[in-house]
Amino acid sequence: MGIYKLPKSQWTKDGRKYKYYWNEKDETGKWKKKFSSAYKTKLDAMNAEREFLNEQVTYGGDMDMTFGELMTQYISFQKNRVRRRTLETYEKRKHHLKRFENVKLKDLDGEIYHQFQEDLWNKSLKCSSRNNIQKFLKAVLNWGMKRYDINLMNFYNKIEIFNDPNEIEEEKDIYTPEEFKRFISACPDLNTKVMFEILYYCGLRRGEARGLQWTDINWNEHTLSITKQ
């Protein structure tokens, strides 16, 4: 699923230029892209897409669908609903799920899951990273069950949390206020000093600091609003 803006040459006379699309199997079992009627605004197309999805809860929900097809549909569904950086994370985690890509949903079982577990154990990853990959796997399965009214719980319940008692916990470098004052005194310019002070005293993440704009400052009340990344 997704929203598509038509080339200007295909706009209707009354300015309709947005369509939503979905994937549908043809008579041979191959997936084909289908397009809706045109809408004037992107919001109109998104609302129509939502209504279409609500009417098609069981559409495409056969257990002969491969996990790769389900995962592709999930990512497509999320394109207009999550940040671009989240989509990039999906693509990175998708790479680790290749073992499931061509497996039909009806064939997902404990054996293939344990092979997947071994794949992750053999990669130089932290347990937190392995569990984040599994978090994405569970998100795809959850979405598939809700969207298509299919039961994947037998496989879902086999997913286990990774825990390595021998993993060395990464040390964190924490500055005391006195240490931070010594650090900040060496900043070469005012802009750098202000940025580090905002990061330290407000507890911002780097993405939140990069997203700051002048409009986020209330000069009268002396407040700073974190509204974006």
Residue 28's pLDDT band, with cuts at 50, 70 and 90, is confident
Model pTM?
A: 0.55
CA distance 130 to 139: 14
Do residues 17 and 6 make contact, with C-beta atoms less than 8 angstroms apart? yes
Q: What is the distance between the alpha carbons of residues 7 and 91, in angstroms, rounded to a whole number?
A: 27
Q: Which element (helix H / strand E) includes 176?
A: none
Per-residue pLDDT tens digits for 102-134:
999 999 999 999 999 999 999 999 999 999 999
- CA nearest 112: which of 123, 122, 101? 101
User: What pLDDT digit, counting tens, does each position of 58-88 carry?
Assistant: 434 578 899 999 999 999 999 888 888 899 9
What gap in Å lies between CA 48 and CA 36, rounded to an integer?
Answer: 9
Token code pair at residue 147? 């969207």
